[in-house]
Amino acid sequence: MDLPEDIESQKKEILKGSYSHAELLDEYFERIEKYDTNINSFICVLKESAYKQAKYCDKLISQLGNEAYNKYPLLGVVTSLKDLFSVKDVRTTAGSKLLSNYYSPYDATVVSKLKYAGIILIGKTNCDAWAHGSSGENSDFGTTKNPWNYKFVSGGSSSGSSASLASNFCLISTGTDTGGSIRLPANFCGIVGMKPSYGAVSRYGIIAMASSFDCVGHFSNNVTDSEKIFNIIKGKDKYDATTTDVNRVVTKDRYTLGVPKDYFQKGLDKEIKDELKRVIDIFEKNKFNLKEIDLPLSKYAISVYYIIQPAEVSSNLARYDGIRYGFDRSYFGSEAKRRIMLGTYSLSAGYYKKFYIKALKVKSKISEELKKQFSDIDAIISPVSPTLPFKIGEKINDPLKMYLADIFTVAANISGIPGLAIPSNISSGGLPMGFQILADKYKDEMLFDIGKKFEIFNNSKIIKPKLI
């Protein structure tokens, strides 16, 4: 059986009777059993409940046919969830053994919306513990390997989500992006990754990392599917006071894209630079306006992020005391301890004004700088990572090098703007390459429009790795 490439093609095949949802699940579980021992993308699979939902989906199709999709737009779409998402009566670990005995008593808002839309939940995916990482190597349940080459990282912290989708273990997946944790693994695994505007999607029921930066997003095989998912999970939620309704934006035939010259400096891999120039040429050939822009404050984004984020981490992790649920703090890994110490230090008396308050001021300046640019341009095009996927073990013992993997992604989280990572090509070494587009806050739909246009311009095909 050929697995569906996107939501629409699955719908067509189901309605044609090419296969049932139960038969589709058979294929997915067979692939997981055969290949995930090597990749390690899942923390748990949910066979019993998945087959129960598949049979229900098949019953709806037999009774209602195409009408079933009017009520359930994601009917039968096999989905994996990052293990930060609370699912009722399912273990939720955040990639940490501290929570290895925790079963959530409720669904996260996004999970409720996806379930109501008709998904089949196939399992919970591996991630850097507490979402602390850019490589997937900080999970207490082992490293998630890149499906394109098992010697390389899959990106983090949403490592298992991106790898499970790239490996054809599911059709869509969810993730969180606090400093690049959707866009980076999407880029490393050759799939589409969406970080919405801050407040566009509810964080209720998602284990918090840094509350002023955390965004709930998703992975898909193409931009059209990404837009469909966003339209289901977005919106105001009474359980999350930061949420708001995102209004539709006016789309155009052609856009003006800003190219930050500050991002093409020393440290950007030559092959990535050449690929980004090729992508820019494609937009120019299709009558998009390209404008070089200055973002001089962007060089401070990574410093600002790694002051404010650990401060919020130290606060959020304080609740895990082993009294109400989970085990005691001795189960925290080295990266969690590092961030707790950094955050506590920057919040301590004598350093609070020197570091934390100063970082908040620079954060505001970076947001203002980006806002000003969006008065003249529609979106920004930039690399996702300064390098191609790196080898497992290459940076794990050098935290500063690891943190620099986020250098092009953190500005979006600092300013709360949306970012869409799109695959564009395969490197000479057989690893995925791509880019990201960033828009002004709540202009998420503009990103989808630009992304869909690029897929047409580039004649993009969905390419999956050959697993071994």
pLDDT, tens only, 260-291: 998 887 789 999 999 999 999 999 999 999 99
Of the ranges 261-270, 300-309, 319-328, which one carries the lowest mean pLDDT score? 261-270
Secondary-structure class of domain 7-301+358-457 per CATH: alpha beta
Active-site annotation holder among 157, 314, 382, 460: 157
Q: What is the pLDDT of the chain when averaged over all its residues? A: 97
Q: Is 82 a catalytic residue?
A: yes
Whether the CB-CB separation of 216 and 201 falls below 8 Å is answered with yes
By DSSP bridging, strand 256-260 and strand 379-382 are parallel
Q: Is 181 a catalytic residue?
A: yes
Active-site annotation holder among 41, 181, 220, 298: 181
pLDDT reported for residue 172: 98
Active-site annotation holder among 41, 80, 82, 139: 82
Band of the pLDDT at 322, cuts 50, 70, 90? very high
Whose CA is closest to 385, among 154, 208, 172? 154
Q: pLDDT digits over 47-77, tens only?
A: 999 999 999 999 999 999 999 999 999 999 9
pLDDT reported for residue 262: 86
Q: pLDDT digits over 149-163, tens only?
A: 999 999 999 999 999
How many Cα atoms within 13 Å fall on the side-chain side of residue 124? Answer: 23
pLDDT reported for residue 89: 98
Whether 343 has a pLDDT exceeding 80, the answer reads yes
Whose CA is closest to 265, among 298, 224, 303, 238? 298
Q: Is 18 exposed, middle or buried (0-12, 13-18, 19+ CB in 10 A)?
A: middle
The verdict on pTM exceeding 0.85 is: yes
List, in order, residues 6 or more apart from 453 with CB less than 8 Å away.
286
